[in-house]
Structure 1
């Protein structure tokens, strides 16, 4: 029996991630009465298990690598660095807590917002239940995020996810990582640099399958040069706890049975949306075969008054795309209604070292577009600044529409790549001719000064 007392709000936001929190504050500013429902820690994936904590670990791992490689630059180091994972975790936790407290203060400073703790489930298209409370609104915004997907064969094994591995206080002796994409590779390099022996198992033929094979091969080379063992084409993966402690993962490669044993296991085989926790069928919401809530370019679901933002809509799995979803939603509600998903250019980074920055299409995607293409690629080893830093691994490449002269895509894999990609992205959003960037004068000595030189090398390429 549904409780007699129903609490009515102007808006219900389920999830306090990078779209939910700013939306709650924006609605409150417009004097909306808002219910913000959160089942876990404030801030969503980015603050708690994503960007903030992992990049803190990347920084510590980078420091260990810098010390170990200092002799190459003429700096003698008496001993190899001593890693204190307990302190690294403590530093990470401090950064995470500061972010959470900042969010909590912002929300508590707004009397229009009611923060409600618990898991929300739909009763129908206007009502949700949280514990014993029933909330009602004709505007419901889903920002429920995603979680680690655990494949068959690992249900009964002791494993870590991207979230739980951040709670370790001792460096794993021998870490097996199942999954050779963005999350798996970042943790592979982090823990290798902190002192673990690391093996990466990937089902596909090559790592980070969304990237072009050339990029994948360069990434693999970087990781293997650091001593990370990479095994691609590993099929029929299964995990088993060892009686003596640790984990064994069995798999097939080239029709032969193989196995790898280690002290710890990280499962990094992708993400799945948290939409399955909402009982969305009671609201009549449509989801796709992967569980993502279907939305149009305005983030509207098939049910009037219900919207999906952030990772759960499948239109991006990043903090910047989630925040952009908020910007689109705010514009649709209170602005000129001109912002939409159609405006967004794909961009992201792989935070191994050196990082990979990506904007727009890959070469494979561009070839499938049927457009007349120009393409150029240059190695980082040709850049003075990279040589001076002793970090010459990687490449820079760009794809141009020969007819419109606009940049379709670019990749910067090398020192500073996650920042440098912004130059290409700015030109793409500005719809500039590549010649504008090609004729620009960039600061010397920087890695960015390769961009004009790269664009001068553009040549036609066949689809």
Structure 2
């Protein structure tokens, strides 16, 4: 469209990681950018997701170490008193406010795009879409742009369980605002949010029970599920597998929530003072009037996009959680940058998830990159796998924490590594290293003969590669 026909080159709805990445890239290209936010600037990650949850997980880890260090390290004695949850939450809020200012609000002024408070909805036609923006005072304005980006993120979703809506349940968002540690906590779900939150509150002092439909971390390797089951059992977290929750009710007299679940064909009741529902998230698209401008959405409200991030309307794009793609802030940021290059430079770039790293911040952490064993088989790859227990990794022995493993999935014919999964301390860093291994197309033999610094967890990848051809139990601790 001619510049004279539009107010902006790019109008962005939302202000999270994808929105900011797009705005920064477009501004650097000299484009006129408007960002519209109806609530708090920064999106899920900084306000209610990554930053606050990991900040509290770090606190819980510190307390757990203080309580358990004497069992791991002979010769020291430590202790930890009750948790002042209100003080922890205040500290978390302070960190969030600082990062929101430093990494989001301050950047708006530095780059110079316009930030407008208000609620946006599409109007016009598919050929001539416009945005109607309603400000906090009720005033309305109309925005015309050459391109539009929907980056409205996602929100916690609860399944249609009888009585659940009346149970005053917690979500991953509201759990981060509790000012008292629950005496007991019932968690619905077995994914990464459920795992992190369950361990967080257990380590702060709650008695935690998880009701899981299949197994923990069901999208990852079964070895990861078994490893985490062991960790959680040791920490007093009860995990009930193959549990289908049928109803929820409250007991006002006991101030408890009661969940009924079907397990192995029978019914069982579970009680707790608080209930956390961590069963997934859904795209935030309600009220955007996407159908008015010819933008198709999926069953969960997600904007359906091509790998170039364009929607069914060539002038409307989407980025981040609202696409229904993997819910990581670095995915959203990549989406925002790719979208701008495609919209304004006709780059034709596509999102490639083949070597996407994924981390669950339990302790020990679960991290992976590339394919699982099953995914490789489903893709027609005749694979060969090795699972290395951490008892063979010198760093884990020194840390006196051998809970976990490193698994390598390789193509049997070529030896090319197609997937790495780890449960252990610093597992996220192992997945980060794995990205480069997979991107380079390296083989098991190549990795087994690379330099690797002694007494690092990264050395475990090399040892796991060596296990394809060597009995690693017979290696010296520093054998190359």
TM-score, structure 2 as length reference: 0.90
Q: Is contact 1:356–1:418 with CA below 8 Å preserved after alignment?
A: yes
- Separation of aligned partners in 2, 1:232 and 1:343: 30
Partners of 2:79 and 2:310 lie apart in 1 by: 58
* Alpha-carbon distance change, 297 to 441 in structure 1, aligned in 2, over 3 angstroms: same
Does the CA-based 8 Å contact 1:378-1:454 persist in structure 2?
A: yes
CA separation in 2, counterparts of 1:409 and 1:23?
30
2:137 aligned residue: none
Instruction: Kindly state the Cα deviation for residue 383 of structure 1 after the two structures are TM-superposed.
Output: 1.5
Give the aligned partner of residue 129 of structure 1: 132
Give the distance between the partners of 1:188 and 1:98, measured in 2 at CA: 27
Partner of 1:109: 110
| Partner Cα distance (1:186, 1:15) in 2 | 26
Query: Does 1:35 pair with 2:34?
Result: yes
Q: In the superposition, relative to structure 1, how do residues 55 and 371 fare at CA in structure 2: closer, same or farther (>3 Å)? A: same
1:68 touches 1:81 (CA, 8 Å); kept in 2?
A: no
Equivalent residue for 1:410? 420
Q: Of 310, 331, 350, which residue of structure 1 is paired with 2:320?
A: 310
1:39, 1:119 within 8 Å by CA — same for their partners in 2? yes
CA deviation after TM superposition for structure 1 residue 117, in Å: 1.6
| 1:48-74 Cα shifts (integer Å, max 9, x gaps) | 111111110111001011101121212
Q: Which moved more, 1:293-302 or 1:391-400?
A: 293-302
- 2:213 matched to which residue of 1? 203
CA drift of 1:172 comes to: 0.7
Q: CA RMSD in A?
A: 1.9
- What secondary structure, in the 3-state scheme, does the structure 2 residue paired with 1:377 have? strand
Is 2:157 the partner of 1:149? yes
Q: Which residue of 1 aligns with 2:372?
A: 362
Q: 1:433 to 1:133 in 2, by over 3 A?
A: same
Secondary structure in 2 matching 1:184: helix
SS of the equivalent of 1:138 reads strand
Residue equivalent to 1:84:
84
Aligned residue number for residue 172 of structure 1: 182
The aligned counterpart of 2:476 is none
**Contact between 1:148 and 1:272, CA under 8 Å: does it hold in 2?**
yes
In structure 1, stretches of 5+ residues that fail to align are 1-5
Match of 2:453 among 438, 443, 456: 443
1:241 is matched with which residue?
250
Whether contact under 8 Å (2:310, 2:339) holds in the other structure is no
Q: What is the CA-CA distance between 1:457 and the residue it aligns to?
A: 2.3
Distance 1:222 1:358 in 2: 18
C-alpha contact 2:16 2:42 (8 A) present in aligned 1: yes
1:155-187 alpha-carbon deviations (Å, 9 max, x no partner): 111111101111111111111111111101101
Aligned to 1:380: 390
- SS of equivalent to 1:36: strand
1:139 equivalent to 2:147? Answer: yes
User: In structure 1, what is the equivalent of residue 302 of structure 2?
Assistant: 292
Cα offset, 1:79, TM superposition = 4.1
User: Aligned equivalents of 1:7 and 1:186: distance in 2?
Assistant: 45
Residue of structure 2 in register with 1:185 after alignment: 195
Work out the CA distance in 2 between the residues paired with 1:11 and 1:314: 22
* Correspondence for 1:228 among 202, 215, 237: 237
Cα deviation digits, residues 218-242 of structure 1 (max 9, x gap): 2111111100011111114322122
- What is the alpha-carbon distance in structure 2 between the residues aligned to residue 456 and residue 423 of structure 1? 17
| Paired residues of 2:17 and 2:42 also in contact (CA < 8 A) | yes
**Counterpart residue number, 2:262:** 252
Mapped to 1, the partners of 2:110 and 2:394 lie a distance apart of 51
Give distance in 1, aligned partners of 2:286 and 2:268: 35
C-alpha distance in 1 between matches for 2:105 and 2:271 = 43
SS in structure 2 opposite 1:121? strand
Structure 2 equivalent of residue 64 of structure 1: 63
Paired residues, what number?
452
What is the alpha-carbon distance in structure 1 between the residues aligned to residue 363 and residue 356 of structure 2?
A: 21
CA shift in 2, pair 1:234/1:82, >3 Å:
same
The 1:188–1:236 alpha-carbon spacing in structure 2 relative to 1, beyond 3 Å, is: closer
Q: For residue 99 of structure 1, what is the aligned residue in structure 2?
A: 99
1: CA distance between counterparts of 2:34 and 2:62? Answer: 43
Residue among 357, 364, 368 paired with 1:347 = 357
Kindly tell me: are residues 110 and 453 of structure 1, through their superposed partners in 2, closer, same or farther at Cα, counting changes over 3 Å? closer
- Unaligned runs of at least 5 residues, structure 2: 135-139, 470-480
Partner of 1:3: none
Q: Secondary structure at the match of 2:160?
A: coil
TM-score, normalised relative to structure 1: 0.93
The superposition leaves residues 277-303 of structure 1 with CA deviations (integer Å, 9 ceiling, x where unpaired) of: 322111111122232211112111111
User: Matches of 2:260 and 2:7 in 1, distance apart?
Assistant: 53
